[in-house]
Structures are given as C-alpha cells and as structure tokens.
Structure 1
Amino acid sequence: FFPRAIGIIGAGYDPAGGGFFVRALKDKFRGKTYYFNPRLAGKILYGQKVYSSILEISEPIDYVIIAVPARVVPKVLEEVGQKSIPFCTIFSSGFREVGNEELEHLTIQTARKYNVRVIGPNCIGVYSPKGGLFFAYEQSRKSGNFGGVFQSGGIAQNISELIVSYGLYASKLISIGNSLDLSPVEFLEYFLKDDYTKIIGLYIESLRSIEQGRNFMKIVKECNLNRKPVILWRAGYGEATKKAILSHTGGLAGNNEIWNAVGKQTGSCIVSNSNELA
C-alpha cells in the first residue's frame, strides 16, 4: 500500500488498457514510476521514457500493474518474478471468468514460482491515498479511515466517490476481481491490524473454496469483535460461499435468509446497495 517505485506494464494512451492507470497515477504517485510497452519502447509518454521490458531497469520496483492481453500475462509475470517484485495487480481480463481456467492456472503457477503476490486478475487494484495509489482519474487525495474490499471494479470506483459525498475518506480500497491469489481474507487480516482503518466495507460475490469461506466468516467476526465494524453488501453468492455459510448457520434456503444469518453469525451490518454501504 506504500510502494516507493511502481511500474505500469502495458502503458500507453488507451483508456481501456494501461493508459487508464497512466492517467490515474500521473502527478499523484510521489515515488518513481516506470512505463513498459515493447510497442512504444524508446518513445516518450507524458514526459517519461517507455521501456520494452521491466528487466531493463536496474533500480528496485515494489509494485507493478499488468495491463496486457491475458495470453501474455504468464510471460510478463516471469519477468516480474525475475526482477524480484513482491506485489502486482493484474488488470487484464480473459481468465476464469470466461472459462479460461488453464491460463489462470498457469498464471498462479508462475506467480508462486517467484513468490509474487497477485491482486486480480480482472480488477483495478489499489486505492491508497496516503500511499499515492489511485484507480480512477479524479479520486480524493485525502486519506481517511474507511477500508474496503470489492469484487467489482465498477463498484469500487463508485464507493470511492460516494463516501466522499458523505464526508468519509478512504484508508485503502481494493478491487480484487477473480482473487486468484490474495483473497478478501488476507485483506481483512490486514485491516484488522491497520491503525488507519476503523470501518470496513465489503462487496463479495463468491469465494473460491469452502475453506476460504470459513476463514472469511471467522475474520469478519474478529474484525467486528475488535471494534472495526464490517458492512457487507449482500451480493449474489457462489456455491462454495453458500456451503461455507450453511456450515456455520445450519440448513437455510434463500438469499435473504443466508445473508441475514451471516450478519447474525459475524456481527456484521448487511446492506443491499451502494448508498447503504457508504
């Protein structure tokens, strides 16, 4: 959340690709920013040189955003790993959400080979005003105490703007997409210990396994018990999520009953739209 140097792989002018992050972070991130794109190598993008590969840079980089076609992601992750970069956000889509599970499996294998922790894929990553990270063009630079984890990038952006209209400001907001590696559980564990975060908002559509679902229920309850109230937007849920919830709550049927049980079991406030969440 507080990198000293970042890289945007796939940087360019396209607002639907790497250009989105170039514009979102331009003149906001206080550390060093590097741009990478083999098609623009040697050219100047917004006053900065574009490099072909991250391996051309000798200086350390803490965090990268990968905005390249999905098929290229494993190759790019190889270079990220060789550079010993610990964290990345994969903006690229075209993985499990469209049935391409083999590519997603190769991606996580590559990340684990080099111990690179991944946010995403199919997400817009991190908004950390204090750390100088943004995932929209006009987000507040003022830091507050509202932390959030969202499986929808659109909702993450919407909430980042909506809370400001209510006089609240974010500590960190994370759009996690497919949560191939880092899941809501890890981010909730972080928020539990984070002095800057006092209240937590969640938009969760599904969890990847029953075990992850149980861990999710446990950490949400722990946050509430430690006076970090959790507000949970009751979205649709996957089968693994449903089974995990049912294992805690007994035999329940129906969306409302399940989410009401989640609220009761964990002490969370259950809401049904963005205005209530903010």
Structure 2
Amino acid sequence: MKILVCVKQVPDTNEVKIDPVKGTLIREGVPSILNPDDANALEAALTIKDDNPGTTVAVMTMGPPQASVMLRECLAMGADEAYLLSDRAFGGADTCATSTTIAAGIKKFGPVDAIFAGRQAIDGDTAQVGPQVAERLGLPVVTYVQNIKFDGNKLVVQRQLENGYEVVEVQVPCLLTVVKELNEPRYMSIYRIVDAYKKEITVWNHEDISLDPKECGLNASPTQVFRSFTPPPKGKGEMLKGSVNEMASSLISRLKEKHVL
C-alpha cells in the first residue's frame, strides 16, 4: 500500500502577533512547526505502515525552501520519502490555488492508495484544501476522521459529528482529513533524525508539475485577505458574592441596567 500525507509548515500560533498599525502578521522571530492536525495524519499513515509490511509513506508540502526542515521532521518520525513543491510562482496562493498546486504535485508523484491530511491548518483554519485536492483528483473524500481501519481494498473510518460519529466505508484510492482525537503523534527517534538528514528531499517547481504560472499562486487566487487584526481586549469580569439569591438578584439588576432584560 502506498500512502501520501499532505503536510504544512505553519507559524506557531502561540507566538504570533499582529502589527497594530499595518494589521499584518509579525513573522520575525516566530518559530515554524508542523501543523498539528497534519502530525495526526502522518501518525495514522505510519500506524498502517507498522501493521502492514510493504506499505510506504511519503509526505508532500507546498512552501518556501525552509519547509524542508519540517519535512525532515516527518522523515524522522518514520516517513519514507519527502516532496517539496517550491517556486516563487506558488507565492500568495489561497486555498483554491494551493489545492491546484498540490493536486498537480500528486499527479506527478504517481498513483497512491490513500491520501491523508489534517482537518485544517492552524494559520488559516479553512479546512478547504483537503476536499479541494480530492475534487481536483476525482477521488472520494471523508472529512473529520477520528478512527481508521484498513480492510483489504477499502478503509473503514469513523467520521466525527457534533453529537457522535458515523461509520463510513470508502474504497481506495481516497482522501481522508483527520482530527486530533484520532491518535497521539509519535516522537522522533535519535537514529531516525540522523537518517532523515541523509535522505534527499525531492523539490519540484511549476515546470516540474506541468503548471502554468497563471494557474498557481496569487495569479490563480480569487480570495485575498483584506486585513488581519487582533480584537480589542474585553473588560475585566466581575465576581458576584453572597448567597445564591443575593447573587441572582444582583445579576438580574445588572442585566436590567444594561438593557439586556
């Protein structure tokens, strides 16, 4: 079985700040990490690999040259191959253009039995790229996957719902997007870290994946961010004291003052 995992290098959102004047992200000094949901997708692929000898796992990302550091982290976790789609022509891509580029990269990679991806990236939170890639490749897609079982030529998965889950059987090849509840990503081992830096990362530009510059990047992005901003902090909360009746009476009085009641 051959599994391809789509991953993304993202800024650590715990460290991200917004320029109050320009309204743009301050990227200087902000560390980049493997997108958390993508780590769960990689772990799912590696688990299947552990249980099914002969299975290979490749990882693919679109990004700048420094994304190779994140790909080596994936190799150190257990992936067999890594592919980086990197070209100035890919810059400024929205989800539409990103999915076009990744789908072209997957076509260049060749036939796969399954494609795994995280539910969404923490820098955009759109959850659109995975399903869009599946649409461009003509593959069935199941989103919000919280459990995966490989059964011959099909995958049996649990799809997370707000009040439970549904069981879905999907024939391979297919694309799955997973949630963090699926598993706990493994740590990199020392020997795999050393081995990861001995492996070659395949880098493809727009010509390698047969894309015209007009079909990717900012040129092919119908969605553009107008501005980003940090919401102003809310006022301090107030703790009510007294008996239950006294606090209830005080709360009702405050709500009436604010014309909520």
TM-score normalised according to structure 1 size:
0.31
The structure, 1 or 2, with the larger RCO (C-alpha pairs under 8 Å, 6+ apart) is 2
Rg comparison, structure with higher value: 2
Structure whose residues are more often helix by fraction: 1
TM-score normalised according to structure 2 size:
0.32
